[in-house]
């Protein structure tokens, strides 16, 4: 509890039955012949904490929690779902022990072997396997996820670049076609003007030629 000295002045604080200090590292407990790693409450939502326990030799994971303050909201079910993820990631049985429920035994494949309901008085007894060895996630952690995400991002960027390149090629092709079409129209217009000019010049030349003397009727006779 912070500001511990306030207990001397605030009577209500003296009702706190115990105090504690934060630990410095995850601890794997020896329970009989088993090595047990424990996380408290929503620490189970942090994959790295469970991973550290397994890498330190935990054969079984225990999540101890009190979700009573969430009443019958989806929070308790979501919390248990997080424990299922930890079981799959680490390849370990997870005992999800909640004072107010849901309490469950989850196998290394993430399947719920047995569970209680919310706010149900019950005791769960089950024989569970102890895990050995390390899963890929326990070995490499988030590097796998980051690698997959990186490959996905690279593929998306490459696909987008290809689409942009194809759009540019189509646009350039359309511009070239438009330019070629304009040049062709201009060439035809010039040819038409030249042809019209030649036709006009031929007609003018025909009108301006002098008549044949042998056929001309102009001028006086002898």
Query: What per-residue confidence (pLDDT) applies to 168?
Result: 67
Query: Which pLDDT score is estimated for 172?
Result: 64
Q: What is the pLDDT of residue 14?
A: 73
Q: Which residues of the chain have pLDDT under 70?
A: 1-2, 16-19, 164-165, 168-183, 200-222
* 4 contacts 14 by C-beta, under 8 angstroms: no
Residue-level pLDDT at 216: 47
CB neighbour list of residue 104: distance below 8 Å, 6 or more residues apart: 80, 83, 95, 96, 112, 113, 114, 115, 116
Q: Tell me: the pLDDT tens digits for 30-71?
A: 998 999 999 998 899 999 999 999 999 999 999 999 888 888
* Domain boundaries, given as residue ranges, for the chain: 4-140, 142-203
For residue 219, what pLDDT is reported?
Answer: 46
Q: CA nearest 79: which of 100, 54, 107, 52?
A: 100
For 125-219, list the strands marked E by DSSP. none
Percentages (nearest 5) of helix, strand, coil residues in the chain: 50, 15, 35
CATH fold of 4-140, please? Nitrilase/N-carbamoyl-D-aminoacid amidohydrolase (3.60.110)
The pLDDT assigned to 17 comes to 64
């Amino acid at each position: 509890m912070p500001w511990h000295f306030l207990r001397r002045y605030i009577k209500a604080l003296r009702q706190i039955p115990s105090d504690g200090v934060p630990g410095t590292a995850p601890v794997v407990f020896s329970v009989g012949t088993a090595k047990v790693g424990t996380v408290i409450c929503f620490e189970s939502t942090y994959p790295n904490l469970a991973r550290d326990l397994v890498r330190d030799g935990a054969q079984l994971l225990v999540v101890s929690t009190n979700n009573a303050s969430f009443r019958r909201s989806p929070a308790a079910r979501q919390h248990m779902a997080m424990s299922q993820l930890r079981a799959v990631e680490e390849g370990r049985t997870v005992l999800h022990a909640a004072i107010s429920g849901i309490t469950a035994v989850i196998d290394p494949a993430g399947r719920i072997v047995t569970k209680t309901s919310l706010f149900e008085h019950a005791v769960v007894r089950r024989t569970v396997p102890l895990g050995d060895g390390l899963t890929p996630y326990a070995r490499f952690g988030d590097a796998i996820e980051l690698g997959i995400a990186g490959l996905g991002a690279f593929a998306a960027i490459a696909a987008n670049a290809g689409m942009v390149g194809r759009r540019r090629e189509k646009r350039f092709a359309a511009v070239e076609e438009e330019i070629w079409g304009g040049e062709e129209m201009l060439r035809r217009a010039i040819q038409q003007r030249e042809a019209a000019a030649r036709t006009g010049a031929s007609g003018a030349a025909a009108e301006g030629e002098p008549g044949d003397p042998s056929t001309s009727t102009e001028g006086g006779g002898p």
